[in-house]
Amino acid sequence: MQQCEMLEYISALIDGELPAEEVQRVRQHLAECLECRSAHEDFLGTRQILRAHHPVRDAQLQQRARQKLFAKERERPWSQPISIPLPVAAVLALLFLIMAAALVRDQHSNFRAAHSAIIEKALPTSGDGEEEKMSLAAFDHGGRAVVYKSPQGEGAEQKR
């Protein structure tokens, strides 16, 4: 639907911005055009409502509003949102849990070491261990095991 081309003059007529000859012409048009007359009545109604409104003048409220609007924002850093992606936060939490678990395990091993320490080390075998160990047979002449004490270094000077 095409709007009336005189509609743009209605607002200017109400605001008193039209020259006298134009005022006459627009007023004549208003008498003939239903659309423009309706718009004219709407504008006048809105202005009447605005004039009828009496704003509350609360000095404290204004002060607070002014402070909020113009004061430099001084929010505490921890109240500011930061952007940490959820996967990163999850990884951080996991790292902390791993550290805690490692410390607990360390404590447990220290407890054991302090109270009843047992450590064991075996020299590694290479290849077919059983075959290698057979070399012990070269020393076995059927004798009984012997334990004895001697001065330190006995026989140590003989190096092959």
Partner 1 sequence: MRFRTVLFALIILSGLAETGRPAPERSPSNLEQNNRVRFKITAVELQGAGREVLSDSLIEGPPGVDFAIKLQSKHFRMNASFLTELTGDRLMIRADLETKRLLGMSERNLPIYEEDQQRHSFDLTLDEQLNILPFGGKDDLNQLRIEIIPSRGESESPPPSTKPRPLFIKILKQASEGLINIAAFKRPHHFNFEAELTEDGHAIARTGGALLLDDQQEFAFSPSEGGGQHPGTMAVAFRVDRFISAREGDEAVVGFDLYRVGAASGVREALASNWAGVCRLDEPFSYDVTSEYGGTPGRKYELRFVVRLAQ
- Among the listed ranges 7-15, 52-60, 61-69, 101-109, the one in contact with partner 1 (CB under 8 A) is 101-109
Per rule CB under 8 A, is residue 97 in the interface with partner 1? Answer: yes
Tell me the two tokens of residue 72: 């430099």
Task: State which of positions 38-57 bind partner 1 (CB under 8 A).
Answer: none
Q: Which of 73, 82, 87, 91 binds partner 1 (CB under 8 A)?
A: 82
Per rule CB under 8 A, is residue 143 in the interface with partner 1? Answer: yes
Minimum Å distance from CB 71 to partner 1?
Answer: 22
Per rule CB under 8 A, is residue 144 in the interface with partner 1? Answer: yes
Distance CA 65, CA 67 (A): 5
Give the residue among 48, 47, 46, 26 at the shortest CA–CA distance from 37.
26
- Among the listed ranges 8-16, 47-55, 65-73, 91-99, the one in contact with partner 1 (CB under 8 A) is 91-99
Is the CB of 65 or the CB of 98 nearer to partner 1?
A: 98
Minimum Å distance from CB 63 to partner 1?
Answer: 29
Q: What contacts 24+ positions apart, CB below 8 Å, involve 33-40?
A: 33/4, 33/6, 35/3, 35/4, 35/7, 36/4, 36/6, 36/7, 36/10, 39/7, 39/10, 40/10, 40/13, 40/14
Question: What letter would DSSP give residue 156?
Answer: T
Contact footprint for partner 1 (CB under 8 A): 77-84, 86, 89, 92-93, 96-97, 99-104, 106-107, 110, 113-126, 129-130, 132-156, 158-160
